[in-house]
Amino acid sequence: MPDVPSLRTALLDWYDQNARSLPWRAPPGAEYRTDPYRVWLSEVMLQQTTVPHAAPYFERFTTRWPTVSDLAAAEDAELMAAWAGLGYYARARNLLACARAVARHHGGVFPDTEEGLRTLPGVGAYTAAAVAAIAFDRAANVVDGNVERVMSRLFAVETPLPAARPQLRAVSGQFVSDHRPGDWPQALMDLGSSVCRPRSPLCEECPLSFGCKAFRQGEPARYPIRDRKADKPHRHGHAYVIRDGEGRVALVQRPDKGLLGGMLGLPTSEWGEALGFAPPLAGPWQAAGAVDHVFTHFRLTLSVHLAEPEAVGRDWIWTDETQALAVLPTVFRKALERGLGAAG
């Protein structure tokens, strides 16, 4: 096994030539660091989310809220609406709580240490280390899915994830150094994204292949080894598209906790085994087909029903249909699109 300094040098040299240009990133070796607000915002958006999906959200957020204090002053509803479609909505609730904590308890300035950052809502071990390293150039052991994959291949770790986490964190820690501490994790993540990819890794282009045990063994894509995931259950429900004849549709405010927490939604039945149709008000109802959606831990089929009642007396939130399409999480946006399409 080559020594750690050789591998570090090889990867940082590669990064100098191959770093991706990203809106939240300072170029390799830059004299300046990126605004901690932008680093933090990008890291939260990128949790379990791809760069192409997050990038337009990042642009919209930083245009609308240029500083953390601007974000702290946002209304809950406008923040949640701006996050619609990005998923994992607890991130949005924590994002706002974090911005307000920074504004109120830290004078609008992000803590500049891993420990300080770790106390903020929605900032876990990974994000605290990433912001400390990238925004403040502090040596930190930044371990995300990319780093776990690269390390698991470098050392041909046979223990399956997630049990291998402590071991992968330990080997990753061997590479942490005061030399270019902000560039190191970004170099590792770029390598994981473009070369040491989950499938079909490009080992011929890899600056670390000279020291990679999985490459030497000949089957690098076998790593990281994972436990097989359980099958998702399939749930069913009904979604109601209720229109008022004036271009508005009835929405409901979902509770803050749980699935799609804090978001607006369409009125629906309970979700479970396929149920009979028991609408929330007298018809006539028009059947508009169904939409399928996949969540993290179950699959959902929603039958969509359309009505335009004469009078209703419920605490629905009547929302312009175009506006509704923009603020709803994807599962309800799909159902609303289907309902409006069936209405012609």
- Residues with catalytic annotation? 43
State whether residue 291 is helix, strand or coil. Answer: strand
Is 94 or 209 the residue whose CB approaches DNA more closely? 94
Shortest distance, CB of residue 209 to DNA, whole angstroms?
18
Q: How far is the CB of 330 from DNA (least distance, A)?
A: 3
The CB-based long-range contact list for 31-37 (8 Å cut-off, 24+ gap) reads 33/134, 33/135, 33/136, 33/137, 33/182, 34/134, 34/135, 35/135, 36/110, 36/112, 36/131, 36/135, 36/136, 37/67, 37/68, 37/71, 37/110
Q: In whole angstroms, what is the distance from residue 2 CA to residue 220 CA?
A: 18
DSSP strand pairing (234-242 vs 299-307)? parallel
- Is the separation of the CB atoms in 226 and 158 below 8 Å? no
Least Å distance, CB 59 to DNA, is: 14
* Measured distance CA(99)–CA(105) in Å, rounded: 10
Nearer to DNA, 65 or 89 (CB): 89
Q: Which is nearer to DNA, 145 or 279 (CB)?
A: 145
Nearest CB to DNA, comparing residues 49 and 69: 49
Interacting residues with DNA (CB under 7 A): 20, 22, 25, 42-43, 46-53, 85-90, 94, 121-128, 130, 144-146, 149, 162, 186, 189, 192-193, 197-200, 226, 228-229, 231, 258-261, 293-297, 329-331
Q: Could you tell me the two tokens for 52?
A: 């192409």
- Minimum CB–partner distance for residue 342 and DNA (Å): 19
Question: Over 119-131, what HEC string results?
Answer: CCCCCCHHHHHHH
